[in-house]
Amino acid sequence: MIWLRSVLFALVFYTGTTVAVLTAFLLVPFGNAAVRAQAQRWASMHRWATRHILGIRVRFEGTLPEGTVLYAAKHQSMFETLELLKALRGPATVLKRELADIPLFGAIARRQGVIPVDRAGSAKALRRMMRAAADAREAGRSVLIFPEGTRVPPGEKPPLQPGFAGLYKQLRLPVVPIALDSGIVWPRHSFRKWPGVITIRLGDPIPPGLPRDEVERRVHAAINALEA
């Protein structure tokens, strides 16, 4: 049954994704806001498929903040990249440049407002990321970053990547840390996905202007709060 659910989910999700991307191209003449609205419909489709095909439900803890913030989230699976796009009302998401360079999909992702970053971490790439994040803030959009830099298995707590501290310093926004445990039912290197409950916990906002060591320590602890 697990295999059957996983195969059916893949068929529905990737077919739906193809339709969503092609529809987004038709919406380009209507502006980036129309493309972002299409991205929300895509995320809604993903939420429906995970719940009704895979049997995965989500339990949210904490309060969604008002205003513009910098979200810093744990990253264990593909699941949260779309679920948080929906749950956090369309933040500008920092993601690896390889995804933003995928033909067709990448072009729409850039119009939607993603912030591509080169994980090699060159100074030029970091400056581009900072500029794009500042533009998102000026447009009134929150920014979402996965500060560990990549997906990690449940239980692992790698240090935060340097890009987070740079964003925190430049944007001067409160940080809302997000802990989650999606990797338990959605392993990063497995096709199979198990039914169950994913917890997404929004921590208390951390104010801007703190020393780097302190904000990194507080964010690292908060995003790993479910890693018992």
pLDDT of res. 110: 81
Say if CB 219 and CB 173 are below 8 A apart.
Answer: no
Exposed/middle/buried for 62, CB within 10 Å: 0-12, 13-18, 19+? middle
Tens of each residue's pLDDT in the chain, 228 residues: 899 999 999 999 999 999 999 999 999 999 989 999 999 999 999 999 999 999 999 999 999 999 999 999 999 999 999 999 999 999 999 988 777 777 777 778 887 888 888 766 667 777 888 888 999 999 999 999 999 988 999 999 999 998 899 999 999 999 999 999 999 999 988 899 999 999 999 999 999 999 999 999 999 999 999 986
What whole-number distance in Å separates Cα of residue 29 and Cα of residue 62? 38
Closest CA to 121 of 164, 71, 173: 164
Q: Is 209 left (phi over 0), alpha (psi -120 to 50) or beta?
A: left
Dump strand ranges (E) for the chain: 56-61, 70-73, 92-96, 115-117, 143-145, 175-180, 196-202
Query: What are 10's two structure tokens?
Result: 């893949």
Which CATH code for domain 56-223? 3.40.1130.10
What whole-number distance in Å separates Cα of residue 146 and Cα of residue 84? 11
pLDDT of res. 42: 95
Q: Tell me the domain boundaries of the chain.
A: 56-223
pTM of the predicted structure, to 2 decimals: 0.93
